[in-house]
């Protein structure tokens, strides 16, 4: 079985052909980083327009890489939730057109559950049942999964997402967008204990995250207590590295502690972690160490499938097997649906 998966939820235009054995026959990701860099974040209108230009060339390229044509496909799958409205629409319309013209079944993908499913791509056995933590630019959430298709919301951020905090702190430190890779790069030379930044709810029994106070604490550390405008502050390289390392450590401490707490509360044994921030080496190393101590089996998405890609859309295979198809009235759901 061969499924074309399409991903256009935010600022990556991606297509991949995956099989029911989870082999990747072809995968293409057209990143828009260059288009959004000067704005230090994703501009929805620019993202949607770029998806329109790129979607069919990206699909063509993925099919070429897989050395197949549309006629060889068994289904087309597309992420229709959550994400930016204009971006989601481009993928959904493209998928519906391909299904209509080629008489193929249509499958809907939830982007968050796809991030967690990315852990399955590298695993020898089923990673389900598990607790799944999605740590991305738009989301930081914990779900308990009985299976790939059955998830219950356990908790999540009450303000910023972890990736969003990396992006905003990068901007304060004068580092480029996307902030995660830039912050983690300079953090390598910094002291993670140089600043004692807040770790919200870390000693509480609740499964929530909050990164907005942490962001403010970084701003005050740069410009002084109560500072609002820090654009005039000039930082030395060593100061930037210490701020980056201390900020990163605070985020990692929160993610490690809440994901472990979620596993303990769920009574499950497996923890799966996906999303752009899961590419972070410090998070990967410290999660792995803590899970070993706690007897938790940890699965982290392969690094190339942490940031947005279409291969994680392989969760569509599960929907295909369960007979979960959509008709051409499939719509987008930009907001988070907590199930
Ligand atoms: O999953 P993703 O590609 O998009 C969303 O679904 O939001 O995640 C993008 C986010 C960005 O905020 C980016 O700064 C962050 O993931 N990110 C990282 C790293 N690589 C990407 N954050 C921390 N460390 C990284 N190495
Ligand atoms: Zn994502």
Arithmetic mean of pLDDT, 267-289: 98
124-305 adopts what CATH topology?
Answer: Nucleotidyltransferase; domain 5 (3.30.420)
Query: Which helix H or strand E contains 3, and what residues bound it?
Result: strand 2-7
User: Over the range 24-36, which residues count as b (16 or more CB within 10 Å of their CB) and which as e?
Assistant: bbbbbbbebeeeb
Q: Whose CA is nearest to atom 8 of ligand 1?
A: 276
* Ligand 1 geometric centre to CA of 105 (Å): 32
Give the per-residue pLDDT at 295.
98
What residue's CA is closest to ligand 1, atom 7? 137
Q: Determine the pLDDT at residue 339.
A: 55
Average pLDDT for the chain:
97
pLDDT at 136: 96
Return d(Cα 271, Cα 54) in angstroms, integer. Answer: 35
56: left (phi over 0), alpha (psi -120 to 50) or beta: alpha
| CA 329 to centroid of ligand 1, rounded, Å | 32
At 313-332, the pLDDT tens digits run 999 999 999 999 999 999 99
Q: What is the pLDDT of residues 88-140, one digit of tens each?
A: 999 999 999 999 999 999 999 999 999 999 999 999 999 999 999 999 999 99
Average pLDDT on 31-43 reads 89
Given a cut of 80, is residue 226 above it in pLDDT? yes
For the segment 235-243, the average pLDDT, to the nearest whole number, is: 98
Q: What ligand is nearest to the CA atom of residue 109?
A: 2
Domains of the chain, by residue range, sit at 2-116+306-321, 124-305
Q: Are 208 and 158 in contact (CB under 8 A)?
A: yes
Decide: 73 in ligand 1 pocket, CB within 6 A. Answer: no
- Taking alpha carbons only, the member of 332, 307, 261, 296 closest to residue 127 is 296
Task: Identify the band that residue 41 occupies on the pLDDT scale cut at 50, 70 and 90.
Answer: confident
- Buried b / exposed e over 80-98, threshold 16 CB at 10 Å, is bbbbbebbbbbbbebbbeb
Quick one: average pLDDT of 296-300?
Answer: 98
pTM of the model: 0.97
CATH topology of domain 2-116+306-321: Nucleotidyltransferase; domain 5 (3.30.420)
Residues with CB under 5 A from ligand 2 (ion): 136, 308
Please state, in angstroms and rounded to a whole number, the distance separating the CA atoms of residues 227 and 187.
23
Whether the CB of 10 sits within 6 Å of ligand 1: yes
User: Is residue 314 a contact partner of residue 121, using CB atoms and an 8 Å limit?
Assistant: yes
Q: What is the mean pLDDT of residues 69-75?
A: 98
| pLDDT value for 224 | 96
Place of tokens 């509360």: 265
Give distance in angstroms: CA of 99 to centre of ligand 1. Answer: 31
Tokens for 307, please give them.
């940031």
Alpha helix (H) residue ranges in 10-74:
33-36, 44-66
Would you say the CATH fold of 124-305 matches that of 2-116+306-321? yes
pLDDT at 338: 67
Q: Is residue 280 within 6 Å of ligand 1 at its C-beta?
A: yes
Instruction: Write down the pLDDT at residue 283.
Output: 98
CB atoms inside a 10 Å sphere around CB 37:
12
What's the 139 CA to ligand 1 centre distance in angstroms? 10
Across residues 308-312, what is the average pLDDT? 98
Closest of 230, 237, 247, 229 to residue 163, by C-alpha:
247
What pLDDT, on the 0 to 100 scale, is given for residue 269?
98
Question: What spacing in Å lies between the alpha carbon of 281 and ligand 2's midpoint?
Answer: 18
Average pLDDT over residues 55-67: 98
Q: Tell me how far CA of residue 196 lies from CA of 113, 188, 191, 222, 250, in angstroms.
A: 34, 18, 11, 13, 8
Ligand 1: nearest atom to the Cα of 166: 14
Please give the Cα distance from 222 to 246 (Å, whole number).
13
What pLDDT does 40 receive? Answer: 82
């Amino acid at each position: 079985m061969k499924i074309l998966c399409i991903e256009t939820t935010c600022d990556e235009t991606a297509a991949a052909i995956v099989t029911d054995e989870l082999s990747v026959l072809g995968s293409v990701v057209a990143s828009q980083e260059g288009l959004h860099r000067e704005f230090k974040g994703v501009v929805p209108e620019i993202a949607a327009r770029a998806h329109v230009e790129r979607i069919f060339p990206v699909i063509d390229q993925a099919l070429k890489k897989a050395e197949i044509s549309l006629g060889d496909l068994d289904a087309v799958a597309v992420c229709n939730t959550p994400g930016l409205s204009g971006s989601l629409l481009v993928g959904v319309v493209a998928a519906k057109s391909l299904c209509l013209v080629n008489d193929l079944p249509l499958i809907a993908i939830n982007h968050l559950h796809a991030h967690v499913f990315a852990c399955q791509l590298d695993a020898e056995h089923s990673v389900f049942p598990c607790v799944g933590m999605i740590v991305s630019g738009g989301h930081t959430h914990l779900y308990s999964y009985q299976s790939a298709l059955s998830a219950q919301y356990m908790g999540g951020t009450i303000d910023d997402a972890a990736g969003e905090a990396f992006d905003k702190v990068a901007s304060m430190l004068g580092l480029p967008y996307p902030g995660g890779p830039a912050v983690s790069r300079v953090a390598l030379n910094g002291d993670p204990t140089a600043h004692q930044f807040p770790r919200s709810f870390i000693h509480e029994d609740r499964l929530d995250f909050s990164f907005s106070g942490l962001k403010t604490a970084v701003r005050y550390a740069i410009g002084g207590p109560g500072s609002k405008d820090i654009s005039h502050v000039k930082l030395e390289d060593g100061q930037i590295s210490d701020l980056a390392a201390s900020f990163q450590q605070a985020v990692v401490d929160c993610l490690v502690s809440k994901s472990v707490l979620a596993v303990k509360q769920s009574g499950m044994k497996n923890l799966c972690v996906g999303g752009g921030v899961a590419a972070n080496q410090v998070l990967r190393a410290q999660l792995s160490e803590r899970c070993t101590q706690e007897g938790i089996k940890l699965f982290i998405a392969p690094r190339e499938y942490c940031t947005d890609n279409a291969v994680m859309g392989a969760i569509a295979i599960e929907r295909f097997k369960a007979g979960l198809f959509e008709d051409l009235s499939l719509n987008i759901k930009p907001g988070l649906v907590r199930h």
